[in-house]
Chain A
Amino acid sequence: MHATPLLALLGLLASAGPEGPDAHLLAGARAFREGQFATALVEFRVAEKLGAADAGAYVAATLVKLGRAEEAVEAFGAAMPASGDPLLDQYRAMACYEARLYLCADRLLEAVAARGGPGMTEQATRTRSEIAAALKDEPPTATIDWYLSRCTGDLRRDRPVLAAAYCAEAAGLGSRRSDGYGKAEADAALSKARQKGAAR
């Protein structure tokens, strides 16, 4: 007997059955809608484990709602290296914003404002103007130091995606200063973080 069709049949039945990934995605969606984000996180993570391709991004979005912004930044980095979906970019931008990665948030919100629905566009535009106001002056060296310390610290803690985000932020802020304070150090650390992330 050919085993392949039988296995395929079993796989299909499993994915469509009550404990397949779709069932967990649906349960996660229901919990998310009801504001039960801890439950939604469990369901989306189980769906991810069961092979649902896009569940990683839903996990990341749920982490944002749970206030776990740094984990969300990491999860988004792993789930969707490139942006492009306005809805998920909105969540990713909020992850960056709450992790105080304002340049990262601004980049994503620019895309959301361009491609999102009316409500999202309005919020993205408002948030971008607040970021612009906060960054209108030359950033203090102590602020760049803070981002550099997060960059090197997260690199040590084996969180390369988050480390890279903080390094990029430090480099971006450094480039906004006339003396380029911290930029060279941030660029070097960013390169390390990206290498480490790619090696994963």
Chain B
Amino acid sequence: MKLVWSIAMALSLLPLAARGEDASADVRRAVREALAERAMVPVAPPVLPVLLPGQPGEPAQRQETHPRPEPAPGKGSQEPARPGTPAPGSPQPHGGPPGHGGAHGAAARSAQSEAVGVAAREAHRIRADAANRAAMGATVNGAAGEASHGSSDCHDAASHMRTMGMDPEHASEPHHGGMMPDGGSTGGTMPGGHQ
């Protein structure tokens, strides 16, 4: 009797399983289409980094061997400027290039990443980004819309975390606010520039 029940159960699962595979294939196709849509990006000419004398082990302290081109800011998305295309007026307090100014911050990120949940960490990043956007919007453009958008991001991320059974307010990672998310700090999404 048990055997018959098991077989019946397995047979009843077959269509579900098949449907699941089809759905997964469709989902993956959708993801790949999204990736393909945004795969093409302008790239700045390559710039060979140089370690300055007297600064061993400090990759942030370097100079460029080639001049950098003018910035080519993206529009309508969160995509940052490419390396070599710093946002206008974006400071680089460590004198390093975009993506390399946060050597110490990167180490801290690496250590912290062991301690917290992935999704909670992203919630913090989104919150920090939102704070940056709000601050930059108020300072540079007076863009109140940006600030409200940031709040919405925060709210969405926090809701999402709660939906997933996580607590976005009590992750052990320190809050990464500040105006320079990756410029020697931690957790930023915009190395060397601002959104």
Residues of A at the B interface (CB closer than 8 Å) are: 1-2, 4-6, 8-9, 12-13, 15-16, 19, 22, 25-26, 28-30, 32-39, 41-42, 45-46, 48-49, 54, 58, 61, 65-70, 87-88, 90-91, 94, 97-100, 102, 119-120, 123, 127, 130-131, 133-135, 139-140, 142-143, 145-147, 149-150, 152-153, 156-159
Contacts and interface: CB of A to CB of B under 8 A. Distances in A.
Interface of B: 2, 5-6, 9-10, 13, 16-17, 19-20, 23-24, 27-28, 30-41, 43, 45-53, 56-59, 62, 65-66, 76-83, 97-100, 103, 106-107, 110-111, 118-119, 122-123, 125-126, 129, 153, 156-157, 160, 163-164, 182, 189-193
A35 B79 contact: yes
Contact of A32 (B35, B66, B119): B35
A19 B125 CA distance: 22
Contacts of A29: 27, 30-31, 33-34
B49 A143 contact: yes
Contacts, number: 208
Nearest to A50: B164
Contact of A94 (B41, B57, B160): B41
Contact of A35 (B13, B78, B82): B78
Contacts of A119: 40
A90 B38 contact: no
A91 B45 contact: no
Given A29-B34, A42-B123, A119-B40, A143 B78 contact: no
Contact of A36 (B39, B53, B78): B78
Nearest to B129: A38
Given A39-B156, A145-B51, A147-B49, 5 more contacts: A39-B157, A87-B39, A100-B100, A145-B56, A157-B110
A100 B83 contact: yes
25 contacts: A2-B5, A4-B6, A8-B13, A29-B31, A33-B38, A35-B77, A35-B79, A38-B129, A38-B153, A39-B126, A58-B35, A67-B191, A67-B192, A69-B191, A100-B99, A102-B48, A123-B40, A133-B45, A134-B66, A135-B46, A140-B48, A140-B65, A143-B65, A149-B56, A150-B59
Ranked nearest first, the 3 interchain pairs of A and B with the lowest CB-CB distance are A35-B77, A67-B80, A5-B9
Contacts of B189: 37-38, 66-68
